[in-house]
């Protein structure tokens, strides 16, 4: 079995593959102040609930955009699995040319998503990943990573609004019945949800206009379902895109 770990700024997503099949997955909060032992106990409990034995893990691959977590993940993998993990980092085989001014600046998760999207469906893609930041990545028809856009995440921008506006308060992130709100809750929901949808669609349209063609637009990340349901440009949601990409990159490097 293969253990894949995607360490994001807000959440860490963990998956277990048996061959090509994703047999289990979990999402936990990323906390650099936790020790490797605390993460070890957490993962052991998750394994126990899914009836998976850590001894069945043959290898581990990690993408990480939180530098303080690297040492923790190293200790975790070596202490609890006796495995030195493979990291998605400069020098690793991805099978995808990176046309960025400085390829080292591209987050590992963005590369992993791009590899996964092109591997499963050849052709041009725009990948929208809803995380702490919302990223838009463009892959051309030839499977080359051409760059993208980084915008504030939905939760990140919402939390900033609530923190700075003393008379506004947190609301449930659901679509309001009407665009024109008749109360503060609905007005906030309209501005946050529908405003964000229009931002996403606007950027996708701008990327498409600049790049040309008809790229396949796929969304992933914690809030992908919410935004995709209102979007006019998102064609598919895949919550496991990053995990699939890690598996693909693993096989490119270990076999």
The answer to whether residues 220 and 27 touch, using CB atoms and an 8 Å cutoff, is no
Q: Identify the H or E element spanning 168.
A: none
Ranges 27-31, 49-53, 231-235, most confident: 231-235
34 closest CA partner among 68, 58, 64, 61: 68
d(CA 50, CA 48) in angstroms, rounded, equals 5
- Which of 23-37, 77-91, 119-133, 172-186 is least confident? 172-186
Residues 55-82, mean pLDDT to the nearest whole number: 93
| Catalytic position from the list 109, 129, 137, 238 | 109
Which pLDDT belongs to residue 53? 77
Tokens linked to 113? 């998503």
Q: Decide: 245 and 6 in contact? Cβ < 8 Å.
A: no
pLDDT in tens, 201-220: 999 999 999 999 999 999 99
Tokens representing residue 4 in the block: 């894949």
Q: Report how far apart, in Å, the C-alpha atoms of 139 and of each of 96, 145, 201, 234, 253 are.
A: 9, 5, 17, 15, 21
Clarify whether residues 118 and 65 are in a common domain: no
Contacts (Cβ under 8 Å, ≥6 apart) of 67: none
Within 13 Å and on the Cβ side, how many CA atoms surround 34?
18
How many domains, the chain? 2
Annotated active-site residue 129? The verdict is no
What average pLDDT does range 140-154 have in this prediction? 96
The per-residue pLDDT for range 69-116, each reduced to its tens digit, is 999 999 999 999 999 999 999 999 999 999 999 999 999 999 999 999
Instruction: Report the CATH number that the domain containing residue 54 is assigned in CATH.
Output: 3.30.420.40
Q: Do 209 and 120 reside in the same domain of the chain? A: yes
Joined together, the tokens standing for residue 119 give 């591997």
Of 87, 113, 147, the domain-final residue: 87
Domain span including residue 150: 103-246
């Amino acid at each position: 079995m293969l253990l894949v770990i995607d360490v994001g700024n807000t959440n860490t997503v963990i998956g277990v593959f048996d061959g090509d099949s994703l047999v289990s997955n979990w999402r936990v909060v990323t906390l650099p102040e936790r020790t490797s032992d605390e993460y070890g106990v957490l993962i052991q409990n998750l394994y126990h609930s899914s009836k998976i034995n850590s001894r069945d893990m043959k290898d581990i691959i990690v993408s990480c955009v939180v530098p303080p977590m690297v040492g923790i993940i190293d200790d975790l993998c070596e202490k609890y699995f006796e495995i030195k993990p493979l990291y998605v980092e400069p020098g690793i085989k991805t099978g995808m040319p990176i046309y960025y001014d400085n390829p080292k600046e591209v987050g590992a998760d963005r590369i992993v998503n791009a590899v996964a999207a092109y591997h499963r469906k050849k052709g041009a893609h725009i990948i929208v990943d809803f995380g702490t930041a919302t990223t838009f990545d463009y892959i051309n028809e030839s499977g080359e990573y051409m760059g993208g856009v980084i915008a504030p995440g939905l939760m990140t921008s919402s939390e900033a609004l609530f923190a700075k506006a003393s008379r506004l308060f947190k609301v449930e992130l659901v679509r309001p019945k009407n665009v024109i709100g008749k109360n503060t809750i609905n007005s906030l929901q309209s501005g946050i949800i529908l405003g964000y949808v229009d931002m996403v669609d606007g950027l996708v349209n701008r990327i498409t206009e600049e790049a040309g063609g008809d790229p396949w637009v796929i969304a992933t990340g914690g809030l992908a379902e919410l935004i995709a349901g209102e979007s006019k440009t998102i064609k598919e949601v895949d919550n496991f895109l990053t995990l699939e990409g890690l598996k693909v990159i693993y096989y490119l490097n270990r076999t």
